Amino acid sequence: MVGFSVNGKRVDLDVDPSTPLLWVIREHLDLTGTKYGCGMAQCGACTVHINGEAVRSCVAPVSRATGKAVTTIEGLSPDLSHLLQRAWLEEDVPQCGYCQSGQLMSAAVLLRQKPRPTDDDIDEAMTGNICRCGTYLRIRRAIHRAAEMVAKEGTR
């Protein structure tokens, strides 16, 4: 049994502890917002938070989450009210949308650690997240926009 919390809910699962967290989230918990892209921590589509840190869930065994708090895109906010989701809406960021869960989860950690990130900070935090459609410029603008909201409204 592996026990941890996902988006605030406690789960105990009878799974092989070496199974990547990604597939447990997708196939056992039916939270399909977290995506498979490469299986080797190259693309960032599978990014989730474990205790607030951005983790590539495709290479993290589920055992790594034991006793910890996992947040997926579904837990970022239930109603698109997270500053980043609002900024993403305002910049109309996604194209195909497949990578965007991972982009948002990486950006959320960046914004918590650096409420006014520079372009270099954004490069550093977001370079692990590939977008094949090429939405990078809008992602960058959306992160800056969210940072402005943080300055005005405070973090939520």
Partner 1 sequence: MSSLNASTVRERRGIQRRDFLKVSVAASGGLLIGFQFPGLSRLASAQASVSTFMPNAFVRIGTNERITVIVNHSEMGQGVYTSLPMLLAEELDADWTKVGYESAPVDPKYNHPAFGMQVTGGSSSVWSGLEQFRQAGAAARAMLVAAAAQQWNVDAASCRTESGAVFNGSNRKLTYGQLVGSAAKVTPPEHVQLKDPKTFKLIGKPIKRLDTPVKLNGKAVFGIDVKLPGMLTAVIARPPIFGAKVKSFDDSRARSMPGVRKIVAVPAGVAVIADTFWQAKMAREALQVDWDEGSMQNFSTSQMMQEFRERSKSAGTSVRKDGDAAGALANAAKKIEAVYEVPYLSHLMMEPLNCVVDLRPDSCQVWTGSQFQTVDRANAAKVAGLPNEKVQLHTTFLGGGFGRRANPQSDFVVEAVHVAKAAGTPVKVIWTREDDMRGGWYRPAFLHAIEGGIDASGNAVSWRSRLIGQSIMTGTPFAAMMQGKDYDPASVEGVDDLPYAVPNVTVESHQAEINVPVQWLRSVGHSHTAFAVECFVDEMAFLAQKDPYQFRRQLLLKQPRHLGVLDLAAQKAGWDKPLPKGMGRGIAVHFAFGSYSAHVAEVSVTDGKVRVHRMVCAIDCGQYVNPGIIAAQTEGGAIFGASAALFQELTFESGRLQQTNFNTFPVMRMNECPEIETYIVESKEKAGGIGEPGVPCAAPAIANAVFAATGKRIRRLPIRMTEAI
Query: Which residues are at the interface with partner 1 (CB under 8 A)?
Result: 16, 19-20, 23, 26-28, 30-40, 42-43, 45, 72-74, 76-78, 80, 85, 88-89, 92-101, 104, 122-124, 126-140
CB 15 to partner 1: min, Å = 9
Nearer to partner 1, 16 or 53 (CB): 16
Encoded amino acid at 125, one letter: A
Task: Identify how many contiguous H helices and E strands the chain contains and give both numbers.
Answer: 6, 5
Nearer to partner 1, 18 or 152 (CB): 18
Alpha helices in the chain (DSSP H): 21-23, 73-76, 83-91, 100-113, 119-126, 136-153
Cα–Cα distance for residue pair 128/110, rounded to 1 Å: 12
CB 125 to partner 1: min, Å = 9
Nearer to partner 1, 4 or 103 (CB): 103
Nearer to partner 1, 91 or 150 (CB): 91
Alpha helices in 17-99 (DSSP H): 21-23, 73-76, 83-91
CB 141 to partner 1: min, Å = 11
Angle at 77 between CA 121 and CA 22, to 5 degrees: 75
Nearer to partner 1, 12 or 14 (CB): 14
CB 57 to partner 1: min, Å = 12
Residue 133: CB partners within 8 Å, gap ≥ 6?
Answer: 94, 95, 96, 99
CB 134 to partner 1: min, Å = 3
